Amino acid sequence: MFFGVDYYPEQWPKARWDTDAKMMRAAGMNVVRIAEFAWSRMEPVKGQYDFTWLDEIIAVMAEQDIRVVLGTPTATPPKWLMDENPDIYPVDLYGIQKGFGTRRHYCSVNPVYRELSKRIAGEMAEHFKYDKNIIAWQVDNEFDTGCYCSHCRKGFQNWLREKYQTIEHLNEHWGTVFWSQTYQDFEQVILPAYTAFDGFTQGGAVNGIAGAPFNHNPGLLLDYNRFKSDAVVEFQNIQIREIRQCTSLPITHNCMGHFSELDYFDLGKDLDFISWDSYPSSAWGKGTSTQLAMAHDLMRGIKGKNFWVMEHQSGPVGWQTFGDTPEPGQLRLWTYQALAHGAEAMLYFRWRSALYGTEQLCHGIIDHDGIGRRRYEEIARIGKELKQLGELFVDSNTINEAVLIKSYDNFWSHRIQPYNSQFDYNVLLMEYYHALAANQIPADVTGIDVDFSSYRLVLMPAFNLMTDEIRSKCEKYVKEGGSLLITFKSGTKNWDNGMSERTKPGYFRELAGIELEEYDSLNYGRKVRVRGLDYECLARSFCEVIQCNGASVLASYESHYYAGKAAVTVNQYGKGRVYYVGCDLEPDALTALMKHIVKESRVTPILTAAAEGIDAVRKSISDKTYIIITNHNNREERVEFEKSYYDLLGERMLHGQETIEAYGVRILEEIL
Ligand code: GAL
């Protein structure tokens, strides 16, 4: 298994390299990722390449049996390149061009930049093609999107021409007759930039979610999001093609978990494997155990395959301020949680805390003074344990009976029109993932293209943009005995982001056996009481008033003018069932409802009892079954289970229950 670190040899004197490599080896490391920001060192002057220093560091690493992942440096085009081609800088929605001084200062649509990126990737690939110590490539670093320059406008127009063929077709799909926005030619089509009724000064910035002004035509906005995402995929693929001309080594990109500006399912298609960067607790936020678990599951879901963690926090992280210092045991805990959810390689960010630059405060495994202390010791302990466990996590399979569907198109559509200012699609997905986890049900998280037939329960919260194909897929699945869960804000729009003519809930009406009489967006703190089988709670953002056409009621409203009407229903359809949740539910209520749903759907919990903050995953490795439990609480917790297990790290048998220390980990092999 690969276990290692992100290393920046260009930031340290050569005299130190050997010491670093030896310390890495002593911690059990066998891989480094290098070079992803080092363009100015690789090509100090236009056309003059210097890869000798990289050859040297690769050799130093090889001495210690440490392999190398090489990153292409296109996230940081150097100053000479930008001075020569200032057109590459991205433009914001107010038309202001951004400047030099940080990173990602490029527009991925810019044809000159595409050419220059291709060239540097090609030069690297050519130079390193015979180096046996390189094991993989990473393209760029953490792709982002968003630019409003003239190349983007042209690119968008071409993208639309390809999609719609005729301008009449585009007008029809977007409904441009509204407010006289009809276009006569693709060349007239705008980017959704700053506009008269802009959406910020008119109160369009919802929920603190930044993005394009929302008052543009929703069809245009959605297509712009799709175009931006496709443009990055194209940008990436230019480099992939270039590298593949020289080598058959696997190629990856380091994704960002829940980040949703880019369609990761599209991005992943041309990559050999997915990797991602996990920062559980930084200046930018702190993830709960389920948020982290879900991010790992989504990363596994991109290709339905195990992934790498290419960067994992190894100390306090931030730029001007930094987040919490990982407590003793937390780096180990997060590492095993990642491995449990499908990581099969772990690299930490970064080796040593930098002495200069924006990221002086993104602390590494070893401190500014080059000394490894508590965090180094903890990582060395993990390295040792992983040797003991052998190749356990490589090629392991995660076995789940439930799947949660994420759609980037739906994320963008909901952001364009959330209906209620408290609504956030990603948060809703997280709430459903959490409700499963609270019932000890781990889930796959993936896109709508997944084969439903291997799951007992499919959850499609707020799947609002729909097509006939997706409806047929759902119908077939349920008819044959599957359980499908859908929620409010589902099935009522077509794929163009326009409203469907169908009676709500639109594409799901027959399947769910219901009709919506109306819906109610809850504003200014108004709440509506809901009562279910064994729970009561308050809806706080959105209530749909349901009329049953064959479905049975699982929960009803208890206040406001629709008191007594159905809020949650279930419909028998063919051999299966469709659950419809017509409003937002508080976490405990959702957990209670989910308990009922998973039981009826015959989805089996991993543990029979566990506290919040316990994460459990079931895996099959060779022909054995394992469960991996991580305790994210800073106190010991008791868990209960039905079977008997052998504790691989503790080397003892467990029957029925176990007490796990604060931040503790158990890797358990099922005994038949
Ligand atoms: C990641 C990024 C790294 C570094 C790290 C810490 O998002 O890929 O280069 O910036 O965050 O801030």
pLDDT means per 10 residues in the chain (672 residues)?
98 98 98 98 98 98 98 98 98 94 97 98 98 98 94 98 98 98 98 79 46 77 97 98 98 98 97 98 95 98 98 97 98 98 98 98 98 98 96 91 98 93 94 98 98 98 98 98 98 98 98 98 95 97 98 98 98 98 98 98 96 96 94 98 96 97 98 91
Cα atoms found within 13 Å of the Cα of residue 527, Cβ hemisphere only: 10
142 an active-site residue? Answer: yes
C-alpha–C-alpha distance, residues 87 and 139, integer Å: 22
C-alpha–C-alpha distance, residues 195 and 215, integer Å: 9
How far, in Å, is the centroid of ligand 1 from the Cα of 277?
8
C-alpha–C-alpha distance, residues 40 and 353, integer Å: 21
Fold for domain 614-670? Immunoglobulin-like (2.60.40)
For ligand 1, pick from 11, 311, 348, 358 the residue to mutate: most ligand atoms within 8 Å of CB: 311
Query: Is the C-beta atom of 141 inside 6 A of ligand 1?
Result: yes
Tokens representing 523 are: 């504003």
Burial class (CB in 10 A: 0-12, 13-18, 19+), 561: exposed
How far, in Å, is the centroid of ligand 1 from the Cα of 312?
9
Phi and psi at 148, nearest 5°, equal -130, 40
Decide: 82 and 46 in contact? Cβ < 8 Å.
no
Q: State the pLDDT at residue 203.
A: 46
Catalytic choice (36, 43, 142, 431): 142
Query: Is the C-beta atom of 359 inside 6 A of ligand 1?
Result: yes
Tokens representing 183 are: 């276009």
Catalytic choice (43, 242, 261, 311): 311
To the question of domain 402-600 being in CATH 3.30.450.20, the answer is: no
HEC profile for 238-275?
A: HHHHHHHCCCCCCEECEECCCCCCCCHHHHHHCCCCCE
Nearest to 614 by CA among 364, 336, 361, 406: 336
Domains 402-600 and 614-670 share a fold: no
* CA distances in angstroms from 621 to 228, 342, 630, listed in the order given: 39, 12, 18
CB-based burial, 204-217: b 16+ in 10 Å, e otherwise: bebeeeebbbbbbb
Query: Is the C-beta atom of 347 inside 6 A of ligand 1?
Result: no
For ligand 1, pick from 142, 258, 308 the residue to mutate: most ligand atoms within 8 Å of CB: 142
Phi and psi at 501, nearest 5°, equal -75, -15
Q: State the pLDDT at residue 206.
A: 47
Query: Is the C-beta atom of 317 inside 6 A of ligand 1?
Result: yes
C-alpha–C-alpha distance, residues 610 and 630, integer Å: 11
How far, in Å, is the centroid of ligand 1 from the Cα of 234?
23
261 an active-site residue? Answer: no
Q: State the pLDDT at residue 201.
A: 55
* CA distances in angstroms from 87 to 151, 202, 426, listed in the order given: 9, 32, 35
Burial class (CB in 10 A: 0-12, 13-18, 19+), 672: exposed
How far, in Å, is the centroid of ligand 1 from the Cα of 215?
33
Nearest to 629 by CA among 163, 230, 242, 293: 293
Q: State the pLDDT at residue 199.
A: 62
Question: Where is 431: in which H helix or E strand?
Answer: helix 425-438
Query: Is the C-beta atom of 131 inside 6 A of ligand 1?
Result: no
* CA distances in angstroms from 342 to 298, 302, 617, 667, listed in the order given: 10, 12, 10, 14
Atom of ligand 1 nearest to the CA of 359: 12
Name the residue ranges covered by the structural domains of the chain.
Answer: 402-600, 614-670
Decide: 164 and 173 in contact? Cβ < 8 Å.
yes
Decide: 59 and 69 in contact? Cβ < 8 Å.
no
Cα atoms found within 13 Å of the Cα of residue 556, Cβ hemisphere only: 11
How far, in Å, is the centroid of ligand 1 from the Cα of 352?
14
How many other C-beta atoms lie within 10 A of the C-beta of residue 146? 19
Which residue minimizes the CA distance to atom 9 of ligand 1? 141
How far, in Å, is the centroid of ligand 1 from the Cα of 533?
46
Cβ-Cβ contacts under 8 Å for 199 (sequence gap 6 or more):
205, 212, 213, 214, 215, 216
